[in-house]
Structure 1
Amino acid sequence: MDSPRLSRRAVLRGAALGLGAAAFGPLATHTAAAQAAPPGGKTAIVVGSGFGGAVAALRLGMAGIETTVLERGRRWPIDPAGNTFATLDAPDGRASWLHDRPYINPLTQLQPIQRYVGVVDEVRGNGINSVYGAGVGGGSLVFGTYTPQPRRRDFEQVFPRQIDYGELDRVYYPRARASLGTSPLPADLLAHPAYKGARAWLADVADYGGQPSFHDFCVDWDLVRAELAGTRRASVTVGEGPYGINSGAKNSVDHNYLPRAEATGNVTVLPLHEVVEIRETQGRSGFEVTVKRIDEYGTVLEHKRLVADYLFMAAGSFYTSALLVTAKAKGALPRLNEHVGKGFGNNGDFLISRTLTHREYGAKQAGPGVAALYDDDTPDGTVAMSWQAAPFPEIAGGNTSTNLIQLITAERGSIDYNPALGRAELNYPHGEADSDVDARGRRFAGRFHDRADVAHGYPANGIPVYPRLAGFGSAATFHGLGGMVMGRACSYEGRVAGYDNMYVVDGSLIPGSTALVNPSLTITAVAERCMDHFLAANG
């Protein structure tokens, strides 16, 4: 696929985003999944196509329920030539959702790009920025492929007792792993010269006095081997990932759950359909969903209104919460309770870069990672730390390591409707000076430096860098969670309080943390559990 070309016409078309529904005439009304539902048949709408939405689509389709999946982004089929996605060092319009600058890489974030329906969307909040995927596959397109299962001891600190870890461990985590196709970094790849960064991280863990906790990644390792053999474009093996993997090695849900859902014949995925309003239907049990259909430059082509019996929210922690907070504020969903929008957490994420390390990590680091370090003996409580492969310029990258520290914290924010702005916004009232995450993250970064570097005679090496102004620390997160938290805004099975036929199946259901691990596997497993309960009650 050629990258989108910058043109004055495209910019002018993008300006149409601000036009209201009246500019396009009356709304077209459709029954979800079909122009006319089968007599007596039930219909469902799934808003979003990431981990939770893909699970919902598959299970609804298998149950024979006519289902429409609404996704604001486009499809991203893997191009055999290896040019599906932008790259971190050469971003273009494919990198960012309708923005004129790329996110993620601080070295390129001032570079102008064309406004296009790219894969990464950054919600700029008050106190924190939260990053989401856009496209068929949602967050699975842009996540780092980390799929660890949390330890029981950590899980039970965060999740309510009504969520049985034993059941997840027996049933839902294995189902999620099998469906996503997860596995640990193979021994032959760890031994490969390209993976010196992974081996350097394991040596740092040993110097710290810890034991590595090896875990799964959502990666097709045969395609990674093909990258190393030169028959696929180098992607995983040079630290790419946040904008997508051009070799196709990332097992995003558009490679597994969603094709299976569509193969049932009961599921229709509608790309470039952005939900703008949700309301109760009048005179019947169900929902009306207003959607704007856009082109790849954000131009609004038409507005449509879809109607369905069941609604499954899976647009990500911010967007699911924002749509429902807005609907409550405007009276479109008046039965939502007072917990809607509350309990947003950043999963305890604290990002650091370690510079001038005494070990050679390499510049274009093969990844995506290898193992986590758990420290259960810090004065601040248990902390986890992982290494993330990244591409660096040769002049600076050989001795640079990117690490994510994760901790369990009660620090939370909210998604609130702002009537002055006419939209919802993310509020996180924890600045760098008073943030529990930042304070504890800094202390652990210093502890790691002291034990892994200074204690071994390298006092000037491994210096941790974590300023918020540069995007480190807790300034931003890929792992925003909460807003429609189980046991508060929703039941423990995802049913939205006040509405028997509305469910939440994405990260907004999670109570702000997935207990020292990346959320993808847990979101998938919890969504599977929610769908089992839904189908048991509505079969």
Structure 2
Amino acid sequence: MPERVRTRGLSRRQFISRAAVTAGTLAAPTLLTAAAATPARALSSGDHVPVLVVGTGYGGAVTALRLTQAGIPVAMVEMGQSWSTPGSDGKIFCNMLKPDGRAYWLRTETDQPVSYFLGAPYNKSIPSYTGVLDSEHFANTRVYQGRGVGGGSLVNGGMAVVPKRWYFEEILPQVDADAMYNVYYPRANAGLGANSVDPAWYNSASCYQYARVGSSQAGDAGFNTVFVPNVYSFPYMQRELAGSAPRSALASEVIYGNNYGKQSLDKTYLAAAAATGRLSISPLHKVTAVSPAAVGSGYSVTMEQLDTGGNVVAVKTVTADKVFFGAGSVGTSKLLVTMRDTGLLPDLPAAVGQGWGNNGNVMVGRANYLWAPTGGLQACMPVRGIDNWADPTYPCFAEISPFPAGTELWISLYLAITKNPNRATFTYNPGTGGVDLSWQASWTQPSITAAANVFDRINKAEGTIYRTDLFGVYKTWGDDFVYHPLGGCVLGKATDLYGRLPGYPGLYVTDGSLIPGSTGVNPFVTITALAERNIENVIANDFG
């Protein structure tokens, strides 16, 4: 691990100066030059570090980069593994058509979003392994989360969408929208490597037949569709289709990771942080406890080191002057609720654990006629969305999603994002030692209603019907899983306006748990931009 920097040797003015110089220095990465972040020496029990970041997803990665650029050594802890070593097939990740243990976090059967086909179960047996996608089950929903260095960036569809400004102002009125839209969103998109598909290429590319069909049918029903940027490299995808580069997005790779083409965090923010020489990452380490240090200031952090079978092989305790929680909406909320209710951090506010939402997620499929084929080759990175967010009663933004089965199925698939007002709470369960989530199955109905407002009209315009064989036995809506968990430690309620946890100087939240349940679009650009905003303030004011 890099030698510890004594922060007292740097004045607040020096930190502000460094932050100003370095804040915009992460240029858009290229796949030819960006080296993936690889772990340095793992933490040892008894270590004392200036900063510990729990989780390597969007908020944690931003925090790590800006702190290391400001001269501060950062140790990161990641529950998943470092996805940098190929398997026996020469690939780091498996694809969706032939899943194996690399696909799921400690499951013996896949748990796919589209888990049925022709009304029959479609999941497959796999060996238990610390795979890249976790489907975490609660009483009435399951939440998909990335497991590995790079977090959710490893397993999402890469859609880099900025929300409508008016809606951002509605969900986070206490945040300066001018600064977000003029400074932090552009900074986030540059750091993430967001790029846009060439419309001319898109219009002729066989791999986007499904998107063109979906856009045309939405237009027939009077809906507007828009192009959406992505962090997948479209120049690389063009080479894939031309046969001059190995296929990834065109080889049914997305939710179990992409072997090529995708500019995930391990190739962008984390790689840039690693390049400073001030970053260490401890993969397969799960934080189980955080409490004020027994002697002096700072915090004692206990963690379990896991093997790839999920077994605990070591328990470690380190001390950190400051701790940033970036374990995601679910991970951060569960950990902090547990710490409060077991007495380790008893003064955390009651708002910790509250305000969780599913970003209005619901999936649906439609059956097209034979004269409207969607294509046997489908790019797994969506580039078009149906934008009905201006509807005053049923706002909805729907990804036109791929169905990468490798053959023509005449299916149009969508992930709808809706304005669902329901919010759930995480609560510690002393009987099980776990954390429960109060989300109710009936709470997805507003999302179904808003999505049906769109797709009923499309079906009417096209004379088509819903597929009822994809999410269960005669079940139209995929309404029991969540791609976009948000909230649980809402900004300005559970924390101050920059993610500081009240009552515990040096504890911060930096991930999607800060956002109150909804962004109206895919949320990771907002999570990244908000983290950029918050860490700039923290560096300027808390390291002096």
1:93 to 93, 98, 101: 101
Structure 1 pair 174–272 and aligned structure 2 pair: CA distance change class (3 A): same
The equivalent position to 2:457 in structure 1, one of 440, 451, 454, is 451
Distance 1:189 1:288 in 2: 54
TM-score (normalizing by structure 2): 0.85
1:6 corresponding residue in structure 2 = none
CA distance in 2, matches of 1:94, 1:234: 18
**In structure 2, the residue corresponding to 1:183 is in which secondary structure?**
coil
Q: 2:54 aligns with which of 47, 53, 63?
A: 47
1:410 matches 2:444: no
Q: 1:498 — aligned with what?
A: 503
Matches within 5 A, 1:131-210: 131-159=144-172, 161-190=173-202, 191-210=204-223
In the alignment, is residue 76 of structure 1 matched against residue 88 of structure 2? no
Task: Name which of 31, 40, 46 aligns with 1:29.
Answer: 46
Q: Is the Cα–Cα contact under 8 Å of residues 365 and 412 in structure 2 kept in the other structure?
A: yes
Aligned residue for 1:18? none
Give the alignment's Cα RMSD to 1 decimal: 2.2
CA distance in 1, matches of 2:331, 2:109: 21
Distance 1:126 1:386, change over 3 A: same
Give me the whole-angstrom Cα distance separating, in 2, the residues matched to 1:468 and 1:509: 33
| Whole-angstrom CA distance in 2 between matches of 1:176 and 1:378 | 28
> Given the alignment of the two structures, is residue 512 of structure 1 paired with residue 517 of structure 2, yes or no?
yes
Summarize the Cα distance change of 1:244–1:299 in structure 2 as closer, same or farther, 3 Å threshold: same
Residue pairs, 1:231-310, within 5 angstroms: 231-246=244-259, 248-310=260-322
Q: What is the distance in 2 between the residues matched to 1:229 and 1:206?
A: 30
Measure, in 1, the Cα distance between the counterparts of 2:45 and 2:281.
18
Output the TM-score relative to the length of structure 1: 0.86
The Cα of 1:99 is off from its aligned counterpart by 1.5
Deviations 1:501-531 (A, max 9, x none): 11111111111111x1001100000010110
Structure 1 residues 91 and 258: CA distance shift in structure 2, 3 A: same
Residue in 2 aligned with 1:476?
481
SS of residue matched to 2:215: helix
1:241 match: secondary structure: coil
CA distance in 1, matches of 2:377, 2:342: 50
Deviations along 1:453-511, one digit per CA (max 9) or x if unpaired, are 323xx424455778677694331111111111111111121111221211111111111
Per-residue CA deviation, residues 17-67 of structure 1 (Å, 9 max, x unaligned), is xxxxxxxxxx932113xxxxxxxxxx0000000111110111111111121
Equivalent residues of 1:55, 1:257 under 8 A apart: yes
Residue 405 of structure 2 is aligned to residue 392 of structure 1: yes
- The residue number in structure 2 matching 1:345 is 357
Specify the alignment match of 2:72 in structure 1: 65
Match of 2:433 among 406, 411, 422: 422
CA drift of 1:401 comes to 1.3
Give the distance between the partners of 1:212 and 1:139, measured in 2 at CA.
26
Sequence identity of aligned pairs in percent?
34
Question: Amino acid of the residue matched to residue 536 of structure 2?
Answer: D
Are the aligned partners of 2:360 and 2:420 in contact in 1 as well (CA < 8 Å)? yes
Secondary structure of the equivalent of 1:216? coil
Task: State the 4+ residue runs in structure 1 displaced beyond 6 angstroms.
Answer: 468-471
User: Hey, what does 1:488 align to over in structure 2?
Assistant: 493
Secondary structure of the corresponding residue to residue 87 of structure 1: coil
* Cα distance change on mapping 1:283 and 1:521 into 2, 3 Å: same
Query: More displaced, 205-214 or 298-307?
Result: 205-214
- 3-state secondary structure, aligned to 1:251: coil
> 1:103 Cα shift?
2.2
Residue 530 of structure 2 is matched in structure 1 by 526
Say which SS state the counterpart of residue 107 (structure 2) adopts: coil
Q: Distance in 2 between matches of 1:508 and 1:77?
A: 28
User: What secondary structure sits across from 1:452 in the alignment?
Assistant: helix
The answer to whether 1:102 aligns with 2:107 is no
1:326 CA drift (Å): 0.8
Structure-1 residue corresponding to 2:229? 216
Higher relative contact order (CA 8 A, sep 6+): 2
Partner Cα separation in structure 1 for residue 515 and residue 340 of structure 2: 21
Residue-by-residue CA offset, 1:241-284 (whole Å, 9 max, x unaligned)? 111112x2111100011111111121111111111111111232
CA-CA distance at 1:83 after TM superposition: 1.5
Tell me, in whole angstroms, the C-alpha distance in 1 between the residues paired with 2:453 and 2:90: 42
From 94, 119, 137, the counterpart of 1:124: 137
